[in-house]
A and B are shown apart, each in its own frame.
Chain A
Amino acid sequence: MRNRLIRILLIAVLATCAIPAWATLNVFACEPEWGALVTELAGDNAKVYVATTAMQDVHHIQARPSLIAAMRRADLIVCTGAELEVGWLPVLLRQSGNDRIQRGRPGNFEASRYVRMLEVPSRLDRAQGDVHPMGNPHIHTDPRNIARVADALTGRLGEIDPQNAATYQSRLKDFSARWDKAMVRWQSRAAPLRGMPVIEYHKAFTYLFAWLGIQATGFLEPKPGVDPTTGHLTELLAQQKSKPARMVVRASYNGPRAADWFGERAGIPVVVLPFTVGGDAASSNLFSWYDDMIDLMLEGAK
């Protein structure tokens, strides 16, 4: 009887410690796309906390207590960098009391360091709006960038968690094979979009457009990060006569008013693209997100 009790106790104790022993990495992803990528690469080896959603403007996040608590526990933070998170990430880093994820440590991963930045300004002046000194930070809308970041991130995961490095490498191989196939599919499906002129809300899909050869002929924002004004929208409407755009594209987090106002007057469709994974019902992972973006663009171009 006592032996049985001891055995049950022993199993109970071992069972409770089984969780911390295998659910190893606590990963803090600044944006949903990186959270999804970590899940692809690490699977059950990582517990992923995603700090923002596709409905939020990543430029303007508040350093909420819940974010500080999550950062306190993180072994690895995966963020875009290039000053996208400059208004909130430094506060979280400072207040977390976590030394593993500070800048320059292996636990601090900035995706923008592994891709070629577009729209790097030659002139830095806030008179140009909320410009990013290191270039347009919305790198995740080009799947080739996702592939580059996946390579680098796998290396980093292995560095932090050497015991599972082989697992991360084999998962990368599997992900890359699926991703390469998907990229071929996306490019051939998106072929009718090539050269198409569109008007964008914010320079949120610069990388997607560069990849697919779509031309952004104007922006609803008069300057990056500055809310659309009636004056600017009227100018864009006039431009529509000489340089007609086929659609207005806004990200899931942009308010609908300006885009709807413009679309209605210009007589062109408004296409709401999920800004990242989770941006609409169809975008549940990286693959379905790209599928969905291309579907929506093709639908708008009809």
Chain B
Amino acid sequence: MPKIPAAVTAAAMACAIAPFARAGSSDDLDEVRAEIQQLKQDYETRIRALEKRLAAAEAKATRAERKASDANRTAGKARQQALETKDAVAEASQPMTAPEAAAPAPAQQERQNAFNPAISLILEGTYADFSQDPEDSQISGFIPSGAEGWRRGLSIAETELAISGSVDPWFSGYLTVALAPEGEAEVENAYFQTSALGHGLGLEGGRFFSDIGYLNPQHQHAWDFVDAPLPYQAFLGGQLADDGVQLKWVAPTELFVELGGEVGRGESFPGAESGLNGAHLYTLFGHVGGDFGASNSWRAGLSYLHANPKDRTYDDTDSVDMPVTNAFSGTSKLWIADLVWKWAPEGNPTSRNFKLQGEYFWRDEDGTLTFDQEGDAGGPLSGPYSSSQRGWYAQAIYQFMPRWRIGLRYSQLDSGNPNIGLVSTGTLPATDFPLLEPYNPSSATAMIDWSPSEFSRFRLQYGEDRAQHGVTDKQFYIQYIMSLGAHGAHIW
């Protein structure tokens, strides 16, 4: 085996280090016209002469300024003075330009409240009409996730107040408070984020929307439909936000590659409040994305969510219609694959654009299911439980002219056939677990929205929801979304 010579090794090392190193009569009229023409020509000649002098003066000023700036290359102050002199020369020699040019306005405004964080407010309201009572609606075949539904009739939805700003050179902070129509305030997001770690790293801590999936990290007012698709309702309780820490890394490559993970309290579904030490939920996710030419862009992602709920309770009714509270303890593993493609002619989405997105969910739960935890119906009784469940949705949004968009969405779930130990051993009949009776829920939705500006939007939505066994719920919504205050910047 030939030894690698020292010179090659040294060169290879140098190579590895190098990237880090950087208007009488007609006669009278004609006479007047001729005079005017003469005057006009005189003036034009004079104006041209003036303009030539002006241009020459400007060029001279620029040259003088450059000399000054060359001489004081290191003194930035001198350069600034030269620029100011140039402005004065330009103004003095230019009485013919628009008056705004001479208006004394400072380049940058100083404001007393400059350190106040940015504040924005989202106002939202709906008129909802459902053929089924939303109070009784459940997703059949799935352990309820606690996802909140919408109220019938006219109501304001969540009012969102967002405050954000830099903490210091190293951190920035974010707060989103959701004001519920009933009057409660809920901390939706409250987290800090690092801005100075470098190397593509970003750390977040607090309560934030998990970066799993495509829709999850987006705020509800940025969604393309009023409600979340079925898999989000069944597997993530609508949207996953947990208290914890997130670490993300963006690769230094032309292709967008992002890897990250989160560790959380595990209080949100599919977790459950445990009151124990330690973390009970973690996630891992990876995203890749890029462009196809100037008009197409895409992103694909794969996410994993692991939770260890303890006594995750849900309400059901047993075979003799007695209300019971059941509980699941064990492990919940969820995989999500997502794909998004956006098209805009020449990358300009302002008049027309198209968006296609889809996500596939796959969840395995394994543990113990306790029947009638409160002991109201002869319980409690415990036995093993395992399930393997699937779900997906796909949606397409098309902006066919400025301000107008239409969208279609289809969601489907497959409950599989959960293995309930208490039933398979004959201890209890399957009718004691009506919610867990196998079913494949589905939902089809169409929407049209109109946005008078980027800060306001009105939406009409109609959906046929077959989430519940043998029932079709016709859901009709009218929604408005208004955003005030600091200009929002949305994630892709």
Binding site for B on A (CB under 8 A): 2, 6, 9-10, 13-14, 16-17, 20-21, 24-25, 52-53, 55-57, 60, 62-66, 68-70, 72-73, 75, 83, 86-91, 93-100, 102-104, 112-120, 126, 129-130, 133-135, 144, 147-148, 151-152, 155, 161, 163, 169, 173, 176, 180-181, 183-184, 187-188, 191, 194-195, 206, 209-211, 213, 215, 225-227, 253, 255
Q: Are the CB atoms of B348 and A213 closer together than 8 Å?
A: no
The answer for the CA separation of A151 and B62 in the assembled complex, in Å, is 11
Q: How many residues of B contact A (CB 8 A)?
A: 95
How far is it, in angstroms, between the C-alpha of A135 and the C-alpha of B197 when the chains are bound? 33
Q: Which chain A residues lie closer than 8 Å to B491 at the CB level?
A: 63, 91, 95
B109 touching A97, Cβ below 8 Å = no
Interface centre among B250, B255, B351, B453 (most CB of A within 10 A): B250
- Closest-by-CB residue of A relative to B254 is A69
Q: Which listed residue (A24, A68, A118, A255) contacts B101, Cβ 8 A?
A: A118
B18 at the interface (CB under 8 A from A): yes
Binding site for A on B (CB under 8 A): 2, 5, 7-8, 11-12, 14-16, 18-19, 21-22, 47-48, 51-52, 54-56, 58-59, 62-63, 66, 69-70, 73, 76, 79, 83, 86-87, 90, 96-98, 100-101, 103, 105, 107-109, 166, 169, 172, 193, 195-202, 248-258, 287-291, 294, 297-299, 342, 346-351, 402-403, 453-455, 484, 487-492
A66 and B250 contacting across the interface, CB-CB below 8 Å: no
Q: Given A13-B15, A151-B79, answer yes or no on A213-B492 (Cβ-Cβ < 8 Å).
A: no
Q: Is the CB of B200 within 8 A of A98?
A: yes
Q: Is the interface of B mostly helix, strand, loop or mixed?
A: mixed
For the complex with contacts A56-B346, A96-B200, A100-B198, 9 further pairs of A-B residues with Cβ separation under 8 Å are A52-B347, A60-B349, A65-B298, A66-B297, A120-B109, A148-B86, A188-B48, A195-B96, A227-B403
Partner of B98, one of A93, A96, A148, A210: A210
> Which residue, of B18, B287, B484, has the highest number of chain A Cβ atoms within 10 A?
B18
**Other-chain contact of A53, B21, B58, B256, B346 (Cβ < 8 Å):** B346
Q: What are 18 A-B pairs with beta-carbon distances under 8 A?
A: A17-B14, A25-B22, A55-B348, A60-B454, A62-B492, A64-B297, A72-B250, A96-B200, A97-B200, A98-B198, A114-B83, A116-B107, A130-B453, A151-B83, A161-B22, A188-B55, A226-B453, A253-B350
Contact indicator A169/B347 (Cβ below 8 Å):
no
Q: Are B351 and A13 in contact (CB under 8 A)?
A: no
Q: Would A53 and B349 count as touching, CB distance under 8 A?
A: no
Instruction: Name A70's closest neighbour in chain B (CB-CB).
Output: B254
**Cβ contacts under 8 Å, B455 to chain A:** 126
Given known contacts A65-B299, A183-B59, A176 and B66 CB-to-CB distance under 8 angstroms:
yes
- From known contacts A89-B489, A227-B402, infer whether A191 and B48 are also in contact, taking CB-CB under 8 Å: yes
CB distance from B214 to the nearest CB of A (A): 12
A94 touching B195, Cβ below 8 Å: yes
List chain B residues, Cβ under 8 A from A147.
Answer: 62
Q: In the complex the two chains form, what is the Cα distance from A102 to B87 in whole Å?
A: 30
* A45 closest partner in B (C-beta): B22
Do B18 and A56 have beta carbons less than 8 Å apart? no
List, in ascending order, chain B residues with CB within 8 A of A173's CB. Answer: 66, 70
B402 touching A94, Cβ below 8 Å? no
- Docked-complex contact A21 and B196, CB < 8 angstroms: no
Q: Is the CB of B105 within 8 A of A117?
A: yes
**Contacts A10-B11, A55-B348, A89-B489 known; A69 to B108 CB distance under 8 Å?**
no
Contacts of A97 on B, CB cut-off 8 Å?
197-202, 248-250
Closest to B346 in A: A55
Chain B residues with Cβ below 8 Å from A114 are 83
Whole-angstrom distance between the Cβ of A212 and the nearest chain B Cβ:
8
The distance in angstroms between the C-alpha atoms of A195 and B48, with both chains bound, is 13
Q: Is the CB of B55 within 8 A of A184?
A: yes
